[in-house]
Structure 1
Amino acid sequence: MYIRQLQTFLVVARLLNFRAAAEELNYSQSTVSDHIRNLEQELDVKLFERFGRKVFLNEQGEKLISPAKKMIKDAEEIHKLFDNDEKIKGTLKIGSAETLCVFWLPPLLKEYSKIYPDVQIILKMADCLELPEMLEKNIIDAAFSLHDESAQQQLSQIDLFQDSTIFVAAPNHPLTSVKKITAYELENQAFILTESKRGYSFELKKLLENLNIKTNTIMELSSLEAIKQCVKNGLGITLLPRIVVDKELQNGELVILPVEINQILIQAKMIYHREKWMSPPLLALKNIVLLRKDEIRKQTNED
């Protein structure tokens, strides 16, 4: 027995007019008729007498009015216990890859904190490989990653955005004078890359190996900021997502190298465990992420 059917019953019982009840409830007249018919079938009784266009509440209908009102009131009390309009509060534990943690998450978390100031956010930066295990062990509630985890059926993921990776160097690097750089011209170049067993740095090393291109040195650093500082000081070139170096490109501290090589993309994702209870803070985060994703898609379509 559905509460909406009881609500419809009470309005029809008061107005004794299906069309007027439909207008008050903002339903179609057929929906009102369906509600009453389903309720009568559920109870195996007739609640109204119909003589032409006139409707009368019968004895069985009179008996239902009081318990129907009570059930609706009880349902409203239950909803109040979990009313999403009340202040959302609690703790939200988020894990994130450094790229997203530093260059994408802050505006989203600022927006979240403005809407839900009573939620304490705990942000843990980790390698993308570590994030699924952190979710599995309930160390974090959600993760923002650059890896596709669709093969792990215990995880749900939301695709956020795609970004290109680019080769960058200091403005005075010798390769900046070359208009088109083939993959083979990267031979014996010093590379400064992120430490990772997966991801764009790993894909680049694998690509160079497949082409039998030997690099001079590969420095692996755990910090994106450290990588950029080393590149700016002429210690080598690097491959990074565009969002990571946008600021440095704009102020001329770094320049793009026109390397003709298969493009390596990153795909940002929000990941959470399928069996994880969607607490109000976590559900609120998911909703903001989905809203932002829809806005980005809309802007892209308009462009």
Structure 2
Amino acid sequence: MDIKAFKTFRVIVETGSFQAAADKLNYAQSTVTFQMQQLERDLAIQLFEKVGRKMVLTQAGKSILPAIDSVLGTVTAMKNYGKPTDALSGELRIAIPDTLLTYRMQPILKRFHNQTPGVQLSLQMANCFTIPKKVSSGTVDLGIHYDVGGYAKNLVVQRLGEFPLVLVASPLLDTQALNLQTPHQRLRVSLLTDDRESIYQKKFAAAIAERDIVFPHFLEIGSVEAVKQSVMSNLGIAYLPKFVVQSEVDAGQLQIIPTNFANETLTAVYIQRQNKWRSQILDQFVQILVDAFTA
């Protein structure tokens, strides 16, 4: 069997199509198709099936993916065997939500790059509820996110730390008209979020629903930084991890609105698949990650 075909198979899974994989690998699409046909013959299974205009993994393809990923990981580990950290080569794929990537990961990424300049980092921003699926399926090597529970048996989950959540508004907002400690309210201010499916937004939605508090407008803006700028412009309020807004609060550009559910927190975790073969690249990144979060 050709290792190149294994690599192509994984890239198809990552990118979602034969054409996208061909573009990423700088192959002709016919080359990708030929490699997959050959791999299916070698394995005696059908890896993909056509659904509409898309090629999707069969159940056999899904089942074989962890084994192929293990083979590729083993090949990388053998290539790196005995090498010092600064001589390691390969790829590390990480899925992470916007808040952690933008406001917590920059020093970690810089330190890892300085220590392992030959390693290619692939970072995917994703929702915390989808990241475990990516790690479990082998689409990414590591997930860093907020704990959502319900993990597959093939995942190892490790705690990184606790982070408080806060409700923030512009200093221009009259807080007398925004008392979330009183139930049964119909408020006039808009509620802003970067992702209505984020775990912190779901926590806030549950808290206000329990207290029968209703906002007239709910705006999903798409990025945490855009949400912060919108709140500072007094377009509405937002419920976010405190570390995301701490500098603006300290500078007087945002104010924290008291609530009677102010003790809500998020637990940051990292998750990886249980693997017989340990990746030196992954271990190096995890060590830097843990050091930074526990410092």
Q: Same fold (TM over 0.5)?
A: yes
Q: Provide the rounded CA distance (Å) in 2 between the counterparts of 1:288 and 1:272.
A: 15
2:236 aligned residue = 236
Could you state the TM-score of these two structures normalised by the residue count of structure 2? Answer: 0.66
Quick one: distance in 2 between partners of 1:159 and 1:123? Answer: 20
Amino acid of the structure 2 residue aligned with 1:139: T
- Quote the residue 1:37 is aligned against: none
Going from structure 1 to structure 2, the CA distance change for 1:80 and 1:145 (only over 3 Å counts) comes to: closer
Counterpart contact for 2:169–2:236, Cα < 8 Å: yes
List 4+ stretches of structure 1 deviating above 3 A: 148-151, 177-181, 183-187, 290-293
Q: Report the Cα offset of residue 251 of structure 1.
A: 2.2
- Total equivalences in the alignment: 216
- Listed as ranges, the matches of 1:143-158 within 5 Å are 143-149=143-149, 151-158=151-158
Structure 1 pair 213/81, CA: closer, same or farther in 2 (3 Å)? closer
Alpha carbon RMSD of aligned pairs, Å? 2.6
The residue aligned with 1:83 is 82
Preserved CA contact (<8 Å) 2:163 2:242: yes
* Unmatched 5+ stretches in structure 1: 1-78, 297-303
Corresponding residue for 2:172?
Answer: 172
Indicate the residue corresponding to 1:95 in structure 2: 95
Please name the residue that 2:251 is paired with.
251
Contact 1:168 1:238 in 2 (8 A): yes
* CA separation of 1:234 and 1:283: change in aligned 2, threshold 3 A: same
Once residues 182 and 273 of structure 2 are traced to their aligned partners in structure 1, the CA distance between those partners, rounded to angstroms, is: 40
Structure-1 separation of matches of 2:243 and 2:217: 25
Conserved 8 A contact 1:200-1:264? no
Give how far 1:167 is off: 0.9
Q: CA deviation at 1:82?
A: 2.4
Q: Does the C-alpha gap of structure 1 residues 139 and 84 become closer, same or farther in structure 2, counting only changes over 3 Å?
A: same
Structure 1 residues 143-292: aligned runs within 5 Å: 143-149=143-149, 151-175=151-175, 182-184=181-183, 187-188=186-187, 189-275=189-275, 277-292=277-292
What is the CA-CA distance between 1:130 and the residue it aligns to?
1.7
Letter in 2 for 1:281: I
CA distance in 1, matches of 2:224, 2:80: 46
How far off its partner does 1:258 sit?
A: 2.1
* Aligned pairs for 1:21-100 within 5 A: 82-83=81-82, 85=84, 87-100=87-100
Q: Is the 8 A contact 1:179 1:258 kept in 2?
A: no
Structure 1 residues 162, 276: closer, same or farther in 2, change over 3 A? Answer: farther
Secondary structure class of the residue paired with 1:182: coil
CA distance in 1, matches of 2:261, 2:94: 35
Where does the alignment leave 5 or more consecutive residues of structure 2 unmatched?
A: 1-77
